[in-house]
Chains A and B, each alone.
Chain A
């Protein structure tokens, strides 16, 4: 199982999904009405490293984090 966590202002509890790539995560989240407003603006990290491709593979135990737009300072 892969854990999906939602950071910052996304008010959503973590999910666990049976997936093998980020493409699968994208498919699952596109069917989630709570997430529609966030998908185009979130960065994605796998095990705390930012990634840039939906083809990133995932294995059981991985953590996927969604990072919405930021504003520190």
Chain B
């Protein structure tokens, strides 16, 4: 399940609802990762662009992969502006046992950071500034710049 929201995430509603959705499915472990916008370098918040078609196919590929382990993923992310101390990202894994859940949440969140087609901007002084220095080229990037 992939959920996109305009603006900040309602953390308590999302993680409570996800828990209720899965509580009867005999998962022994539920690990949510909640990303919160930190006050840093004078920013007022962050802003996000999301390209949903490729994000969805990336997420579906992960879901298929973890299903083979008996696990399930859920993810929520913001579009647009999210202010300091609000949440823009929640990823969660459900699995029968803790080890798969612990390993999966780490791998999923790390791959998310370098693969999910989402662009981050700092909100500072009324401007929306691309966070180029914290961004990572997607694996395989650069073919258009190759020497002919």
Contacts and interface: CB of A to CB of B under 8 A. Distances in A.
- Size category of the B interface is 35 or more
A66 interface: yes
Contacts of B5: none
Dominant secondary structure of chain B at its interface with chain A: mixed
Contact of A39 (B115, B120, B132, B145): B145
Interface stretch (B15-23, B63-71, B99-107, B133-141): B133-141
A26 interface: yes
Interface string B103-122: 00000010011111111110
B87 to A, nearest CB: 10
Nearest to A40: B145
A70 B110 CA distance: 12
A16 to B, nearest CB: 17
30 contacts: A7-B117, A8-B51, A8-B117, A8-B119, A9-B49, A9-B119, A9-B132, A22-B144, A23-B148, A25-B144, A26-B143, A26-B145, A39-B144, A40-B142, A40-B145, A43-B137, A43-B139, A43-B141, A50-B54, A51-B143, A65-B51, A67-B51, A67-B117, A69-B135, A69-B138, A70-B117, A70-B118, A70-B138, A72-B116, A72-B120
Contacts of A51: 143
Interface of B: 35, 48-51, 53-54, 57, 77, 88-89, 109, 112-121, 130-132, 134-146, 148
A9 B136 CA distance: 13
Of B35, B145, B146, most A-chain CB atoms within 10 Å: B145
B118 A71 contact: yes
B137 to A, nearest CB: 5
Interface of A: 7-9, 22-23, 25-27, 29-30, 39-45, 48-54, 65-73
Given A40-B145, A68-B135, A69-B132, 20 more contacts: A7-B117, A8-B119, A26-B143, A26-B148, A39-B142, A40-B141, A42-B137, A42-B141, A42-B144, A49-B57, A50-B54, A52-B143, A65-B51, A67-B54, A70-B113, A70-B119, A70-B135, A71-B113, A71-B119, A73-B109
